[in-house]
Every structure is written in C-alpha cells, then in structure tokens.
Structure 1
C-alpha cells in the first residue's frame, strides 16, 4: 500500500492490537511523507539523532499551520514537556528539585515500601476471584494512587482524577480524517479542572505543608520558584504522565509474559531478573508508541529526505525499538537482553523524568503479580485495546486463574 497512508493505517483502531507490521513497512521507507504533509520517522538511529537535535522543537505553536491540538492548551499554558529551551530547562529543573537528585535523592526510592503496600492491598482484593481484569482491578488504580500520594492529593479525591485523565489522554490522540473538535474541547476542560484543583490544593499546602511534592513546590525558597500557574501545569503533567504510561507498562507487561509462559515461569523463580525484564518490555511493547509533537525549526535532512521548516514531524518510538539495524532479533521478547538503550522513555532533553518511578512501580507490580497468579491464562487474546495509538495498551485484560484457568485449558 502507499507509504503516504501509513499514519492513517497505524492510527486506525483495526490495527491497534498489532501495529508492528506497519512499523516494519515504515522502516523500509525510512522517512514517509503523509497525505496531510506530516513526516513519519521509524528508524532507530534517525529517531535518536532527532531527539538530540536542537533544531527540533517540542512546541506545537512553532508549526507553520497550528494544529487542532494547540487549541486544547487554552485555559492553561503548555507544560514544560511541550516547550523548548531555555524555558523547558528552567521548568524541568525547578520540578526536579522536588522530585529527584540532587535535591531530593530519596523521594522515589523512599516510596518502595508504600508502593509495595499499595500493590499488596490491590492484590488482596482478588481473593475469591477466578477472573481478574488486570487493568481495572490493578494497573489503573496503582499508579494513580501512587502519583496522588506523591503530590499529596487526599485519598477521597483520587477517583476524580480518572475521569479527568481519560478526557485529557483522549484529547491528545492523533486521529486522521476525524474532526477532533469535541475531544479537544473536553480535554481542555478536564485539564483546566484538574489544574484548578491542584492549584487550590497547593495553596492549602502553603499554609499547612506536608511531606509531599505540592508542599515542596510552594515552600521552595530558591531563586526561580515555580509560579502558581506553573505549579498547576506541572502538577497536571505529573499526574497524566505518571499515570498513563505506567498503566500501559504494567498491562503490556502481563500480556507479554502470559504470551511467553516459559519466560513468566523463569521470572517467577528468579525475581532478581525483573529490572532487566522491565527494560525489555519498554523496548518490546513500549507504553508510549510515538511522539506526534515535534516540529523542525529549519529545513532538515533525515535519511536523504528534506523535512521542511514547520512541518509536523512524528517520531515512531515503537518502530525504532524493533529496528533490526539496531537490535539483534528485535521481534523476540528476551527478558535477559543486555542492550537496554531503547526509546521507551524517549531520549535527549525531553526524556521522561518520571522514568525512575515508572520502573520502580512496574518492577514491584509485576513481581508481586507473578507470585500471586495461580496458573494464569488469558481469557481473550488479543484483548480489547484502548483507543489511543500514542499511549497504547489494553482497555481490559481478563486473566483467569486457578480452577477457571484449568477449566479453560481442558
């Protein structure tokens, strides 16, 4: 089929369960100009170079023709993930002072016991169930609980964030040949509502600080403190990015392991291998499949193709992770693989700064699940997928265990 329809086919829900043949087709093209004037890049070395190229902007407002997603930012300014240096550098550094080293080196590692307790509590709710939905019963509530605890959101308010999160993620989905106006409006409203809630909570923490990130944001007396509006946009980013990617990492991980029972058994007996297995999962089935928000600030040449200034540039991370010119036997899931230079968390100045937390959550969650599940079996394969082609993962993942799994295998 024509290369200029690749993005339409990749984002077509009919291909959500297995986009990898389309990624292989894209790699054969190297760079593929699409019907709408955007350019897809699917090879590892080219993606890696572009992620480190200062001529590539993450600010959608730099596009020659502003796209519909830009409208979704109305009401709140862009978070730093959608900005360029020096503003991106300033905001990211201010955020990191409250999130990780060198200022708060123990914040993430210090959550190990809390995350373990949350995981075990969720698994405890499986008691008596022969069928479990890994998404609704486990992978979805875990990271939202963790990130809410990290920020300091009261437990009784946590359910509000699921509805907001769903609307925001749906709003960023690229859907060629579809009018995104309603999705963008709903995303803007959800983003504004979440931001206002977190801004008000931050102000409460100013008067009554606690040991959480919102308190750290408002009490930071260093030069260049985050403004109230920047606290709102940054907190929304932390909730969405810290939640959605981890949901898919855990769910894709369980799905992959159930499809590879020998590797599942090995990890169950050798839990020390889980950190390497999580890195392989980030390569093999990454939660973030693409970065659809890059824009050249000048005409650039990529693999012999000139991408004009201002054109939408879409980096297909999941395709790069399966590039045979970079990874040996790339379509094989190998939890003992030593080469971990994947694109699962991006690369360059915009690499995912929440990666240490996502890794920790996934390692604890998968190890505990593997120890708990009794003769697990997929009730449906492939499972139904979420609509998003960007943050790709199952919407439900029904797993039978114990007697149900045995009956299903008879």
Structure 2
C-alpha cells in the first residue's frame, strides 16, 4: 500500500507543549493532518490533528486499544501490573462490550440523577471551609475532593479508607522524569489499596457498585479477578482524575473570561451549553488513549502501518476552524455539540453523564457562594501539570470574596440545576 500523502516529520518540545498545547497542536494541524513525531517518551508515534480525521479514527474498529497489537519494542506506556491493566482502556470487543455492559447501568441518567442532591450537599460543605478566607487554592480544597467523594460514594469505599489519591494520580499521569521511582511506588500503593478494598467488600458486601461487581465475579463468573480489580481501578481513578481537571479548567476559563461568566449569570439556562463549550475549549484530555492499527490504515491521506502507535489530538481537533468557527474564542452560547472531550464511538466515556452533572453543580455552587470570586494571580502565572495525558492546573489560587445573602443577589446561578 502506497502513501498518497507523505507524512510530515515534527519535533515536539515538551516544555512548549505543556505550556501552550493549543499553539503547538494548532501549528501542527495547519501544517498537515498527520505527523510522524517523537513523543516525550522518546518513542515514535503518528499524531492526528484535524477534527474530521480524529472523530473518524475514534470510532474506527481497525484502531485497537489492545496493546498486544503494538509492534515489539515500540509503545511502552504506563507500567501497570495485570491486576490493574486488564481494564476497558486496553480492550476491544468482545471483552470490552462484555465488561462495559456490566457497569453501564450505574451511569444511566436515572441513576446519575439520584446523585444530584448528595453532590450539591457535598459541594456546599466543601465551600463552607473557604468562607471568610482571603485566598484559597481551589484544586485541593474543591475541584479535587468533590469528584473523589462522589466516586467513592458510588463504589462504596468506606470513609476510613478514603485515601488522598492526588499524589498517586499525579505520579502516574504527570510523572517526574527525575524521580521515576515515584510512579512505581504509586502503582504499588494502588494495587495494595484495591486488594484490601475488594477483600473487605467480599467479607462485608453492601448496596454499592463495587459489591455488585464482586457478586458478578464470584456468583456469576462473568469477570476475571484481574478484570474486577482493573475495573474498580479505572472507575475510581478515571472518575476522579478527569473530573478534577474538567472542573478546575472550567473555573479558570470563566474567571479569565469575565464577559462569559457575566453572560452565564445573566442567563443561567445557558449552563448545559456552557459545560459543553468549556469541555471543548480547554478539556481535561489533550490526547485520546493511544491506538494501534490492526492493519495498514489510511488516515488523512497517510498510510499508517499496522502495529504503530497512533495519537489522536483532541486538543487540536477542538480548535480546528474547519469544524468550530473562531475556535480559540470561548463562547458559552456556541453550539459545541460534537466535541470529543468525552470520546466518541464505543469508547465514549462511560461516566459522561456524571461528569457533566458534577461540573454543573460545582460551578453553580461555587459562583452562588462566591459571586465576587476572582483569580489571586495574573492568568499568565497559572501553572499547568507537565503531562501529555491530562490537561489540568497544578494550583488555582483565588480570592473567594464571600458575600452574605448571595442567593438573592443579581446574577446568582441558583436556578441552574
């Protein structure tokens, strides 16, 4: 099979990429649809940058998530033991279909809606601790604990075992190249945690998602033991990690675009549309999970050989002017339908309804409580995590500016769901 279009060769500077991903990916997108790059791990990969190509590739069954289809000596990826690696992000049908079906009922609109009041109660409780402070960091005080409390409640993680996952997930998703042992230590902590958690649930089952999955494993024999632990790991870590950054990035975007925040205050009915636009504008996942062609595959006019690593740039696709007019502008009135922040195709995010609802509640509760909220540093001083896998702030310093009687003040978002 010949290449109708030769791929361009591109060097990706990690420092520039972490600080200005949209500028880097945008430049590559306009230079060509597919690039042969050397990733930050030093390994070659194919980077796809244009919206139509990325969307089509996300649903292409020839692009496998199963690492067994990777060429020997190529992709290394995150080093996880089998007990954590046998998860949906490494699976194709039919195993992917079988396991996803088992857990999908926990994320139906009806089940998610039942969590609305508890989530709002949790958000309000977290914000209580910020009242009266001159300055606070919203990541560790609000954006991070809210999702972990929600997902732990869903899984049934006992209160006494609710560990701070922040250090572990940072070590995995934003590793320090000077301290590679931190990632290995984090994997060990996670493996021990889930081993103890599942053993405890087996001994004392309850009315929660993890107990239900254990019953599927032990009574119905429809899950392997590694699949059970890997599924619990994925639900907990993915349900936490991505939602933290979705909330944090959304707050930062609104605070740095006060005219958009004012528009949302003027019309709280825009909240649902705003969440979609915020996910498009600065979503938590710059790159989709890597894929491996099971056969030579043409993308954007370029033939990618079987077994090579394909990276689909959601960040580039979301700023593609061919799909989104004036894409570098945040516009909460925009119809951002079709954005890919939560995936597309059979690997569409299982927890998308929950992530949307959590983000909506988090924004509503925050701006209702602190209508005068502002950044405590200039926008250019916001620091981003050094990661290609996730896009999130290291810190979000704000001035809460608590105002009594907030719920009756003009511009309250209290009518938002």
TM-score range, shorter chain: 0.7 to 0.9
CA distance in 2, matches of 1:60, 1:210: 35
| In structure 2, distance between residues paired with 1:231 and 1:75 | 8
1:201 to 164, 172, 197: 197
Q: Map 1:10-409 to 2 at 5 A.
A: 12-28=14-30, 29-35=32-38, 36-64=43-71, 65-69=73-77, 71-73=79-81, 76-97=84-105, 99-101=106-108, 106-170=110-174, 183=180, 186-220=182-216, 225-380=222-377, 381-382=379-380, 383-402=382-401
Give me the whole-angstrom Cα distance separating, in 2, the residues matched to 1:259 and 1:202. 43
Residues 369 and 339 of structure 1: CA distance in aligned 2, closer, same or farther (over 3 Å): same
Q: CA deviation at 1:191?
A: 3.4
CA separation in 1, counterparts of 2:149 and 2:63? 35
Which shows bigger deviation, 256-265 or 221-230?
221-230
Partner Cα distance (2:29, 2:205) in 1: 51
Question: What TM-score do you get using the length of structure 1 for normalisation?
Answer: 0.88
CA distance, structure 2, for counterparts of residue 317 and residue 268 of structure 1:
29
What is the distance in 2 between the residues matched to 1:13 and 1:142?
Answer: 30
Contact 1:75 1:192 in 2 (8 A): no
CA shift, 1:75, in A, is 5.4
Q: CA deviation at 1:188?
A: 4.8
Is the partner of 2:265 in helix, strand or coil? helix
Deviation at 1:196, TM superposition (A): 3.9
What do the CA deviations read for 1:249-283 (whole angstroms, capped 9, x no partner)?
A: 11110111011112112223432321111111111
Question: 1: CA distance between counterparts of 2:329 and 2:323?
Answer: 14
For the structure 1 residues 70 and 118, does the alpha-carbon distance in structure 2 shift closer, same or farther, using more than 3 Å as the test?
closer
TM-score (normalised: structure 2) = 0.86
Q: 1:292 to 1:229 in 2, by over 3 A?
A: closer
5+ residue gaps in structure 1? 404-410
Which runs of 5 or more structure 2 residues have no equivalent in the other structure? 1-6, 403-417
- Equivalent of 2:9 in 4, 15, 40: 4
Matched pairs, number? 387
Partner of 2:405: none
Cα distance between partner residues in 2 of 1:356 and 1:343: 14
Assess if the C-alpha contact under 8 Å between 2:155 and 2:208 holds in 1. yes
1:318, 1:343 within 8 Å by CA — same for their partners in 2? no
Residues in 2 aligned to 1:70 and 1:150: alpha-carbon distance in whole angstroms: 26
Distance 1:343 1:43 in 2: 12
Tell whether the 8 Å contact from 1:268 to 1:367 is kept in structure 2 after alignment.
Answer: no
Q: Secondary structure at the match of 2:311?
A: strand
**C-alpha contact 1:60 1:70 (8 A) present in aligned 2:** no
